[in-house]
Amino acid sequence: MHTSPLEQPGTGDAGGMNVYIVQTATRMARRGIAVEIFTRATSSDLPPVAELAPGVLVRHVTAGPFEGLGKDELPGQLCAFTAGVLRAEARHEPGYYDAVHSHYWLSGQVGWLSTGRWGVPHVHTPHTLAKVKNAALAAGDRPEPRIRVIGEEQVVAESDRLVANTPVEAGQLIDLYGAEPERVVTIPPGVDLERFRPGDPAAARAALGLAPDAVVLAFVGRLQPLKAPDVLVRAAAEMLARDPALRDRLVVLIVGGPSGNGLEQPEALRALAVELGVADVVRFLPPQSGSALAEAYRAADLVAVPSYNESFGLVALEAQACGTPVVAASVGGLPVAVADGESGLLMTSHDPAEWARALSDVALRPARLAELSARAVDHAARFSWDRTTDALLATYAEAARPLETSRREVAV
Protein backbone atom coordinates (compact mmCIF):
# COMPACT_ATOMS: atom_id res chain seq x y z
CA MET A 1 0.00 0.00 0.00
CA HIS A 2 2.75 2.50 0.87
CA THR A 3 5.18 1.97 -2.01
CA SER A 4 4.97 0.80 -5.60
CA PRO A 5 7.18 -1.83 -7.24
CA LEU A 6 7.44 0.61 -10.15
CA GLU A 7 9.37 3.08 -7.98
CA GLN A 8 13.17 3.30 -7.88
CA PRO A 9 14.60 1.53 -4.80
CA GLY A 10 16.90 3.65 -2.68
CA THR A 11 14.78 6.73 -2.16
CA GLY A 12 11.45 7.63 -0.56
CA ASP A 13 9.85 4.48 0.84
CA ALA A 14 11.19 2.26 -1.94
CA GLY A 15 13.79 -0.28 -0.89
CA GLY A 16 14.41 -3.99 -0.52
CA MET A 17 10.71 -4.80 -0.29
CA ASN A 18 10.15 -3.34 -3.76
CA VAL A 19 12.95 -5.53 -5.14
CA TYR A 20 11.48 -8.57 -3.38
CA ILE A 21 8.03 -8.04 -4.90
CA VAL A 22 9.30 -7.38 -8.42
CA GLN A 23 11.65 -10.37 -8.45
CA THR A 24 9.19 -12.91 -7.03
CA ALA A 25 6.21 -11.64 -9.04
CA THR A 26 8.04 -11.85 -12.37
CA ARG A 27 9.28 -15.35 -11.59
CA MET A 28 5.78 -16.49 -10.66
CA ALA A 29 4.55 -15.17 -13.99
CA ARG A 30 7.24 -17.16 -15.80
CA ARG A 31 5.76 -20.25 -14.15
CA GLY A 32 2.35 -19.47 -15.64
CA ILE A 33 0.86 -17.77 -12.59
CA ALA A 34 -1.00 -14.49 -13.12
CA VAL A 35 0.02 -11.86 -10.55
CA GLU A 36 -1.74 -8.60 -9.72
CA ILE A 37 -0.08 -6.08 -7.43
CA PHE A 38 -2.25 -3.49 -5.70
CA THR A 39 -0.55 -0.24 -4.67
CA ARG A 40 -1.75 3.25 -3.76
CA ALA A 41 -1.80 5.78 -6.60
CA THR A 42 0.54 8.69 -5.87
CA SER A 43 -0.10 10.70 -9.05
CA SER A 44 -3.09 11.48 -11.22
CA ASP A 45 -0.90 10.69 -14.23
CA LEU A 46 -0.66 7.01 -13.31
CA PRO A 47 -2.84 4.64 -15.37
CA PRO A 48 -5.34 2.50 -13.44
CA VAL A 49 -3.43 -0.60 -14.55
CA ALA A 50 0.20 -0.91 -15.70
CA GLU A 51 2.12 -3.97 -16.87
CA LEU A 52 5.25 -4.58 -14.82
CA ALA A 53 6.21 -7.64 -16.88
CA PRO A 54 4.34 -10.21 -18.98
CA GLY A 55 1.81 -11.76 -16.62
CA VAL A 56 2.28 -9.13 -13.88
CA LEU A 57 -0.15 -6.21 -13.54
CA VAL A 58 0.15 -3.27 -11.16
CA ARG A 59 -3.20 -1.80 -10.12
CA HIS A 60 -3.09 1.80 -8.87
CA VAL A 61 -5.77 2.27 -6.23
CA THR A 62 -6.98 5.78 -5.42
CA ALA A 63 -6.88 6.18 -1.64
CA GLY A 64 -6.46 9.70 -0.32
CA PRO A 65 -4.65 12.61 -1.96
CA PHE A 66 -2.13 11.66 -4.60
CA GLU A 67 0.74 13.65 -3.12
CA GLY A 68 1.84 14.99 0.23
CA LEU A 69 0.64 11.99 2.25
CA GLY A 70 3.30 10.49 4.51
CA LYS A 71 3.49 6.83 5.51
CA ASP A 72 2.39 7.72 9.05
CA GLU A 73 -0.86 9.13 7.64
CA LEU A 74 -1.73 6.07 5.56
CA PRO A 75 -3.63 4.18 8.31
CA GLY A 76 -6.40 6.72 7.75
CA GLN A 77 -6.68 5.51 4.15
CA LEU A 78 -6.97 1.78 4.90
CA CYS A 79 -10.73 1.81 4.32
CA ALA A 80 -10.40 3.57 0.96
CA PHE A 81 -7.60 1.29 -0.19
CA THR A 82 -9.49 -1.85 0.87
CA ALA A 83 -12.57 -0.63 -0.99
CA GLY A 84 -10.49 -0.25 -4.15
CA VAL A 85 -9.13 -3.79 -3.83
CA LEU A 86 -12.60 -5.25 -3.24
CA ARG A 87 -14.05 -3.37 -6.23
CA ALA A 88 -11.37 -4.83 -8.50
CA GLU A 89 -12.25 -8.36 -7.39
CA ALA A 90 -15.97 -7.68 -7.77
CA ARG A 91 -15.50 -7.18 -11.53
CA HIS A 92 -14.50 -10.84 -11.86
CA GLU A 93 -16.29 -14.12 -11.33
CA PRO A 94 -16.15 -15.41 -7.71
CA GLY A 95 -12.94 -17.27 -7.00
CA TYR A 96 -10.85 -15.20 -9.41
CA TYR A 97 -8.02 -14.77 -6.91
CA ASP A 98 -6.52 -17.91 -5.37
CA ALA A 99 -4.34 -16.32 -2.67
CA VAL A 100 -3.28 -12.97 -1.28
CA HIS A 101 0.30 -12.18 -0.25
CA SER A 102 0.57 -8.91 1.66
CA HIS A 103 3.80 -7.04 2.33
CA TYR A 104 4.29 -4.73 5.36
CA TRP A 105 1.66 -4.23 8.03
CA LEU A 106 -0.50 -1.67 6.18
CA SER A 107 -1.08 -4.07 3.30
CA GLY A 108 -1.46 -6.84 5.87
CA GLN A 109 -4.59 -5.10 7.19
CA VAL A 110 -6.05 -5.04 3.68
CA GLY A 111 -5.07 -8.65 3.06
CA TRP A 112 -6.74 -9.71 6.29
CA LEU A 113 -10.05 -8.10 5.29
CA SER A 114 -10.07 -9.13 1.64
CA THR A 115 -9.18 -12.79 2.20
CA GLY A 116 -11.86 -13.07 4.87
CA ARG A 117 -14.38 -11.97 2.28
CA TRP A 118 -13.04 -14.08 -0.59
CA GLY A 119 -12.33 -17.27 1.38
CA VAL A 120 -8.74 -17.57 0.17
CA PRO A 121 -5.48 -17.91 2.12
CA HIS A 122 -3.65 -14.85 3.40
CA VAL A 123 0.15 -15.01 3.46
CA HIS A 124 1.95 -12.07 5.05
CA THR A 125 5.56 -10.89 5.02
CA PRO A 126 6.23 -8.08 7.53
CA HIS A 127 9.69 -7.09 6.17
CA THR A 128 10.30 -5.07 9.34
CA LEU A 129 8.73 -5.24 12.79
CA ALA A 130 7.92 -2.21 14.94
CA LYS A 131 8.85 -3.87 18.24
CA VAL A 132 12.25 -4.85 16.85
CA LYS A 133 12.91 -1.41 15.38
CA ASN A 134 11.93 0.34 18.60
CA ALA A 135 14.36 -1.80 20.58
CA ALA A 136 17.31 -0.57 18.51
CA LEU A 137 16.64 3.03 17.51
CA ALA A 138 19.32 5.21 15.98
CA ALA A 139 20.15 8.47 17.74
CA GLY A 140 17.49 11.03 16.88
CA ASP A 141 15.21 8.48 15.24
CA ARG A 142 11.53 8.38 16.22
CA PRO A 143 10.00 5.16 17.57
CA GLU A 144 7.34 3.45 15.50
CA PRO A 145 3.84 4.51 16.64
CA ARG A 146 1.56 2.39 18.80
CA ILE A 147 -0.97 2.13 15.96
CA ARG A 148 1.59 0.17 13.96
CA VAL A 149 2.35 -2.20 16.84
CA ILE A 150 -1.36 -2.91 17.28
CA GLY A 151 -1.84 -3.31 13.53
CA GLU A 152 1.03 -5.78 13.31
CA GLU A 153 -0.35 -7.81 16.20
CA GLN A 154 -3.69 -8.06 14.41
CA VAL A 155 -2.14 -9.12 11.11
CA VAL A 156 0.01 -11.74 12.82
CA ALA A 157 -3.03 -13.17 14.57
CA GLU A 158 -5.15 -13.30 11.41
CA SER A 159 -2.69 -14.50 8.75
CA ASP A 160 -2.76 -18.09 7.55
CA ARG A 161 1.02 -18.06 7.04
CA LEU A 162 3.74 -15.63 8.08
CA VAL A 163 6.90 -15.48 5.98
CA ALA A 164 10.09 -14.62 7.88
CA ASN A 165 13.33 -13.84 6.10
CA THR A 166 15.52 -15.56 8.69
CA PRO A 167 15.20 -17.88 11.69
CA VAL A 168 15.86 -14.85 13.92
CA GLU A 169 12.88 -13.02 12.45
CA ALA A 170 10.75 -16.14 12.81
CA GLY A 171 11.65 -16.22 16.49
CA GLN A 172 10.72 -12.55 16.85
CA LEU A 173 7.29 -13.18 15.36
CA ILE A 174 6.74 -16.00 17.83
CA ASP A 175 8.29 -14.41 20.93
CA LEU A 176 7.29 -10.76 20.48
CA TYR A 177 3.98 -11.14 18.65
CA GLY A 178 2.68 -14.50 19.83
CA ALA A 179 2.59 -16.07 16.37
CA GLU A 180 1.75 -19.76 16.29
CA PRO A 181 5.00 -21.55 15.32
CA GLU A 182 3.26 -23.84 12.83
CA ARG A 183 2.09 -20.81 10.84
CA VAL A 184 5.57 -19.27 10.54
CA VAL A 185 7.80 -20.28 7.63
CA THR A 186 11.35 -19.04 6.99
CA ILE A 187 12.13 -18.20 3.36
CA PRO A 188 15.35 -16.26 2.66
CA PRO A 189 15.18 -13.58 -0.05
CA GLY A 190 17.40 -14.01 -3.08
CA VAL A 191 19.68 -12.08 -5.37
CA ASP A 192 19.53 -11.64 -9.14
CA LEU A 193 22.64 -13.65 -10.02
CA GLU A 194 22.35 -12.76 -13.70
CA ARG A 195 22.57 -9.02 -13.06
CA PHE A 196 24.81 -9.01 -10.00
CA ARG A 197 27.97 -10.90 -10.86
CA PRO A 198 31.71 -10.20 -10.88
CA GLY A 199 32.95 -7.82 -13.56
CA ASP A 200 35.83 -5.49 -14.33
CA PRO A 201 36.44 -3.18 -11.34
CA ALA A 202 38.74 -0.94 -13.38
CA ALA A 203 36.04 -0.38 -16.01
CA ALA A 204 33.45 0.28 -13.28
CA ARG A 205 35.72 2.87 -11.69
CA ALA A 206 36.46 4.50 -15.01
CA ALA A 207 32.72 4.85 -15.65
CA LEU A 208 32.35 6.69 -12.33
CA GLY A 209 35.48 8.77 -12.78
CA LEU A 210 37.36 7.02 -9.96
CA ALA A 211 41.10 6.39 -10.00
CA PRO A 212 42.19 2.78 -10.51
CA ASP A 213 44.21 2.80 -7.26
CA ALA A 214 41.55 4.52 -5.15
CA VAL A 215 40.39 2.97 -1.88
CA VAL A 216 36.62 2.97 -2.41
CA LEU A 217 34.17 2.41 0.42
CA ALA A 218 30.49 2.43 -0.56
CA PHE A 219 27.10 2.77 1.09
CA VAL A 220 24.04 1.84 -0.96
CA GLY A 221 20.52 2.46 0.28
CA ARG A 222 18.09 4.97 1.66
CA LEU A 223 19.61 7.89 3.54
CA GLN A 224 17.89 7.77 6.91
CA PRO A 225 18.99 7.28 10.54
CA LEU A 226 17.88 3.63 10.55
CA LYS A 227 20.34 2.78 7.75
CA ALA A 228 23.15 4.70 9.53
CA PRO A 229 25.16 6.00 6.56
CA ASP A 230 26.71 8.50 9.01
CA VAL A 231 28.65 5.61 10.58
CA LEU A 232 30.60 5.17 7.34
CA VAL A 233 31.29 8.91 7.03
CA ARG A 234 32.49 9.08 10.64
CA ALA A 235 34.62 5.95 10.15
CA ALA A 236 36.24 7.55 7.10
CA ALA A 237 37.15 10.57 9.21
CA GLU A 238 38.75 8.23 11.75
CA MET A 239 40.73 6.49 9.00
CA LEU A 240 42.11 9.81 7.74
CA ALA A 241 42.97 10.94 11.25
CA ARG A 242 45.09 7.82 11.68
CA ASP A 243 46.62 7.92 8.21
CA PRO A 244 46.52 11.43 6.64
CA ALA A 245 48.32 10.14 3.53
CA LEU A 246 45.23 8.06 2.75
CA ARG A 247 43.32 11.22 1.80
CA ASP A 248 44.80 11.16 -1.71
CA ARG A 249 43.25 7.74 -2.38
CA LEU A 250 40.16 7.41 -0.20
CA VAL A 251 36.69 7.73 -1.76
CA VAL A 252 33.47 7.28 0.19
CA LEU A 253 30.68 6.56 -2.29
CA ILE A 254 27.15 7.26 -1.01
CA VAL A 255 24.50 5.87 -3.37
CA GLY A 256 20.88 6.63 -2.49
CA GLY A 257 18.35 9.29 -1.62
CA PRO A 258 16.71 10.67 1.54
CA SER A 259 13.96 8.55 3.06
CA GLY A 260 11.86 8.31 6.22
CA ASN A 261 13.12 10.62 8.94
CA GLY A 262 16.01 11.47 6.63
CA LEU A 263 13.60 13.64 4.63
CA GLU A 264 13.45 16.10 7.54
CA GLN A 265 17.13 16.97 7.01
CA PRO A 266 17.94 15.86 3.45
CA GLU A 267 21.35 17.57 3.50
CA ALA A 268 22.37 16.27 6.94
CA LEU A 269 24.90 13.74 5.61
CA ARG A 270 26.60 16.34 3.40
CA ALA A 271 26.73 18.72 6.35
CA LEU A 272 28.28 16.00 8.51
CA ALA A 273 30.98 15.39 5.90
CA VAL A 274 31.81 19.11 5.93
CA GLU A 275 31.81 19.22 9.73
CA LEU A 276 34.20 16.27 9.94
CA GLY A 277 36.48 17.68 7.25
CA VAL A 278 35.95 14.79 4.80
CA ALA A 279 33.71 16.45 2.21
CA ASP A 280 36.53 16.17 -0.31
CA VAL A 281 36.51 12.35 -0.15
CA VAL A 282 32.74 11.80 0.07
CA ARG A 283 30.90 11.50 -3.24
CA PHE A 284 27.12 11.31 -3.54
CA LEU A 285 25.26 9.48 -6.30
CA PRO A 286 21.47 9.28 -6.78
CA PRO A 287 19.80 5.87 -6.47
CA GLN A 288 21.02 3.49 -9.17
CA SER A 289 19.25 0.59 -10.83
CA GLY A 290 20.06 -2.32 -13.11
CA SER A 291 23.54 -2.49 -14.55
CA ALA A 292 24.46 0.93 -13.10
CA LEU A 293 23.91 -0.40 -9.58
CA ALA A 294 26.00 -3.49 -10.32
CA GLU A 295 28.80 -1.23 -11.60
CA ALA A 296 28.69 0.81 -8.39
CA TYR A 297 29.19 -2.37 -6.37
CA ARG A 298 32.06 -3.49 -8.62
CA ALA A 299 33.76 -0.11 -8.29
CA ALA A 300 33.93 -0.46 -4.50
CA ASP A 301 36.56 -2.29 -2.46
CA LEU A 302 34.04 -2.73 0.34
CA VAL A 303 30.35 -2.05 0.87
CA ALA A 304 29.28 -0.93 4.34
CA VAL A 305 25.85 -1.87 5.73
CA PRO A 306 25.79 -0.23 9.18
CA SER A 307 22.00 -0.40 9.72
CA TYR A 308 20.49 -0.43 13.20
CA ASN A 309 17.83 -2.84 11.96
CA GLU A 310 17.66 -4.87 8.75
CA SER A 311 15.18 -7.66 8.17
CA PHE A 312 17.60 -9.23 5.71
CA GLY A 313 19.89 -6.90 3.78
CA LEU A 314 19.57 -7.32 0.02
CA VAL A 315 22.31 -4.75 -0.57
CA ALA A 316 24.77 -7.03 1.21
CA LEU A 317 23.85 -9.96 -1.05
CA GLU A 318 23.98 -7.92 -4.24
CA ALA A 319 27.41 -6.53 -3.38
CA GLN A 320 28.82 -9.96 -2.57
CA ALA A 321 27.40 -11.41 -5.79
CA CYS A 322 29.47 -8.77 -7.60
CA GLY A 323 32.57 -9.91 -5.73
CA THR A 324 32.63 -7.02 -3.26
CA PRO A 325 33.00 -7.98 0.42
CA VAL A 326 30.69 -6.40 2.99
CA VAL A 327 31.26 -4.95 6.43
CA ALA A 328 27.87 -5.01 8.14
CA ALA A 329 26.24 -4.53 11.51
CA SER A 330 25.38 -7.83 13.15
CA VAL A 331 21.64 -7.11 13.30
CA GLY A 332 18.49 -8.69 11.92
CA GLY A 333 19.13 -10.86 8.88
CA LEU A 334 22.63 -9.56 8.13
CA PRO A 335 24.35 -12.49 9.93
CA VAL A 336 22.64 -14.71 7.33
CA ALA A 337 23.35 -12.44 4.38
CA VAL A 338 27.02 -12.06 5.34
CA ALA A 339 29.29 -14.96 6.32
CA ASP A 340 31.44 -13.42 9.04
CA GLY A 341 35.13 -13.77 8.29
CA GLU A 342 34.45 -15.41 4.93
CA SER A 343 32.45 -13.07 2.70
CA GLY A 344 32.82 -10.03 4.91
CA LEU A 345 32.85 -8.87 8.51
CA LEU A 346 30.07 -8.44 11.06
CA MET A 347 30.27 -5.60 13.59
CA THR A 348 28.73 -5.77 17.04
CA SER A 349 28.74 -1.99 17.59
CA HIS A 350 28.25 1.24 15.64
CA ASP A 351 31.38 2.88 17.06
CA PRO A 352 33.07 4.70 14.14
CA ALA A 353 36.52 3.93 15.56
CA GLU A 354 35.81 0.19 15.46
CA TRP A 355 34.37 0.49 11.96
CA ALA A 356 37.48 2.40 10.87
CA ARG A 357 39.70 -0.41 12.11
CA ALA A 358 37.62 -3.09 10.39
CA LEU A 359 37.41 -1.22 7.10
CA SER A 360 41.16 -0.53 7.12
CA ASP A 361 42.03 -4.13 8.00
CA VAL A 362 40.34 -5.31 4.81
CA ALA A 363 40.49 -2.43 2.30
CA LEU A 364 44.17 -1.71 2.91
CA ARG A 365 45.29 -5.35 2.81
CA PRO A 366 45.09 -6.58 -0.82
CA ALA A 367 45.54 -10.27 0.03
CA ARG A 368 42.76 -10.21 2.64
CA LEU A 369 40.52 -8.25 0.28
CA ALA A 370 41.03 -10.76 -2.54
CA GLU A 371 40.32 -13.69 -0.22
CA LEU A 372 37.03 -12.23 1.02
CA SER A 373 36.05 -11.21 -2.52
CA ALA A 374 36.31 -14.78 -3.84
CA ARG A 375 34.33 -16.17 -0.94
CA ALA A 376 31.71 -13.41 -1.25
CA VAL A 377 30.74 -14.62 -4.71
CA ASP A 378 30.42 -18.21 -3.48
CA HIS A 379 28.32 -17.14 -0.50
CA ALA A 380 25.90 -15.06 -2.58
CA ALA A 381 25.46 -17.96 -5.02
CA ARG A 382 23.61 -19.83 -2.26
CA PHE A 383 20.71 -17.39 -2.60
CA SER A 384 18.49 -17.01 -5.64
CA TRP A 385 15.07 -15.53 -6.35
CA ASP A 386 14.03 -18.77 -8.04
CA ARG A 387 14.45 -20.64 -4.75
CA THR A 388 12.56 -17.91 -2.93
CA THR A 389 9.73 -18.05 -5.45
CA ASP A 390 9.44 -21.85 -5.32
CA ALA A 391 9.26 -21.72 -1.52
CA LEU A 392 6.57 -19.02 -1.62
CA LEU A 393 4.43 -21.02 -4.05
CA ALA A 394 4.72 -24.06 -1.80
CA THR A 395 3.64 -21.90 1.14
CA TYR A 396 0.59 -20.62 -0.74
CA ALA A 397 -0.45 -24.19 -1.52
CA GLU A 398 0.07 -25.27 2.07
CA ALA A 399 -1.96 -22.33 3.39
CA ALA A 400 -4.80 -23.17 1.00
CA ARG A 401 -5.20 -26.80 2.07
CA PRO A 402 -7.25 -26.21 5.25
CA LEU A 403 -9.57 -23.86 3.32
CA GLU A 404 -10.03 -26.39 0.52
CA THR A 405 -10.83 -29.11 3.06
CA SER A 406 -13.36 -26.85 4.75
CA ARG A 407 -15.04 -26.03 1.43
CA ARG A 408 -15.33 -29.72 0.58
CA GLU A 409 -16.89 -30.44 3.96
CA VAL A 410 -19.41 -27.65 3.46
CA ALA A 411 -20.25 -29.01 -0.02
CA VAL A 412 -20.83 -32.49 1.40
Residue stretches of the annotated binding site for 1D-myo-inositol 3-phosphate: 2, 13-18, 71, 104, 128, 148
The annotated binding site for Mg(2+) is made up of 297-298, 300, 324
CA distance 197 to 375: 13
Determine contact, residues 124/118, Cβ cutoff 8 Å.
Answer: no
How far, CA to CA in Å, does 214 sit from each of 249, 300, 377? 5, 9, 22
Residue stretches of the annotated binding site: 2, 8-9, 13-18, 71, 104, 128, 148, 222, 227, 288, 297-298, 300, 310, 318, 324
Rounded to whole angstroms, how far apart are CA atoms 301 and 287? 19
The three-point CA angle 294-297-302 to 5° equals 165
Angle at 314 between CA 222 and CA 1, to 5 degrees: 65
Decide: 144 and 71 in contact? Cβ < 8 Å.
no
Binding-site residue ranges for UDP-N-acetyl-alpha-D-glucosamine:
8-9, 16, 222, 227, 288, 310, 318
Q: What are φ and ψ of residue 329, in 5° steps? A: -70, 140
Measured CA to CA, the distance from residue 11 to residue 262 in angstroms comes to: 10
Phi, psi of 121 (to 5 degrees): -70, 145
C-alpha span between 129 and 19 (Å, rounded): 18
Torsion of CA 10, 14, 15, 21, to 10 degrees: -140
Looking at the DSSP assignment, which residues form a beta bridge with residue 305? Answer: 328
Q: Residue 245: name the closest of 220, 273, 213, 200 by CA.
A: 213
For the chain, how many residues are written?
A: 412
List 119's β-bridge partners, or say none: none
Dist. CA 344–CA 363, nearest whole Å: 11
